[in-house]
Structure 1
Amino acid sequence: MRPKLPPFTFPAPVAAVVSRLPMWPAAWALSRALDFGTGRIVPRDALGPLVGRRFALCARDLGLTVHFESTPSGFRPAAPPFAPDLSITATVRDFIALGLREEDPDTLFFARRLQVEGDTDLGLTVKNLLDGIDWGVVAEALLAQLPAAVRRFVPGR
């Protein structure tokens, strides 16, 4: 049994730096993770209710807000500003704990550590979808794709 994730938050100076960085790489990685993770549990056509919807994922302690949208061919980064249909906010630690299944989204929500704003039905659909993803498998797959992604985006590599 692995040890439980310890409590932590990123210090304000780190958030001040991160908030000035381009968000596209994080949105791209999240979009790839969602495509891979959802592709393992549901067929693409079952994601029809998400098509055309826009999302914001905010890691409040890191100063990071990732904007992405669902298209018929999958998730993709979206450039702000736009009004998301669904916005989910938590600390990095709480997002990781959700992915590791150490924390329940309902518990975090009622403890006010997870904020969900926007379309309620969409929020429930996304919650159930995210609960079905094996994030450990997704992380391994993304790490395996990292060298090819770096070669594509970094000149001379």
Structure 2
Amino acid sequence: MSFSIPRFKLPGVLSTIGARLPQWPHSLALASALNVAARIGLLPDDSLALLEGRSFLVEVLDAGGQACFCYRDGLFRPLFTAPASPDLSFRANLSAFLQLLARQEDPDTLFFNRELSIVGDTELGLVIKNMLDAIEWPQLPTLPIFRH
């Protein structure tokens, strides 16, 4: 059974509400998840070294949320206030990020279809793109309820 994430946009009221909520939990959660991914070997060490001292912003437009973090001393660290100009920022609706994570769409396609905005250091953007392309997601077992 194959699952496909459709393109969608959350209702505007969610963006309004989401933007008024504290943003630091998103930063903490994303930095923690990235540290776990690095620790279990999903993120290549040679690419991680290229992130040293760099700051990032990930903004989910239709949810009104953003996560800011940096990579320093071998760890992703949450930033509790957004830097004035992060080294690299990504902006998209939730569906585009989900499609990217599920490898349903690649960053280039989303970028050229204007569904993903990438602003900042071009070389750093290529490093991140290559890291995403190199990730080999572990195969998860199929739940019995989804078998035919």
TM-score w.r.t. the length of structure 1 is: 0.79
1:70 and 1:111 map into 2 onto residues whose CA distance is: 29
Give the match for residue 78 of structure 1.
79
Give the match for residue 52 of structure 2.
51
2:94 and 2:138 map into 1 onto residues whose CA distance is: 16
Q: Residue 71 and residue 88 in structure 1: after superposition, are their counterparts in 2 closer, same or farther (change >3 A)?
A: same
Give the match for residue 124 of structure 1.
126
2:9 and 2:87 map into 1 onto residues whose CA distance is: 27
User: Which structure has more helix as a fraction of its residues?
Assistant: 1
The answer to whether the 8 A contact 2:42-2:137 is kept is: no
Is there any run of 5+ residues in structure 2 with no aligned partner, and where? 140-148
Q: CA shift at 1:36, angstroms?
A: 1.7
Q: Residue 44 and residue 104 in structure 1: after superposition, are their counterparts in 2 closer, same or farther (change >3 A)?
A: closer
Give the match for residue 11 of structure 1.
11
TM-score w.r.t. the length of structure 2 is: 0.83
The answer to whether the 8 A contact 2:44-2:131 is kept is: no
1:96 to 75, 95, 98: 98
Is there any run of 5+ residues in structure 1 with no aligned partner, and where? 138-157
Partner SS state of residue 20, structure 2: coil
Give the match for residue 62 of structure 2.
61
Moved over 6 A (4+): none
Between stretches 22-31 and 73-82, larger displacement belongs to 73-82
1:37 and 1:74 map into 2 onto residues whose CA distance is: 11
Q: CA shift at 1:91, angstroms?
A: 0.7
Matched residue type, 1:11: P
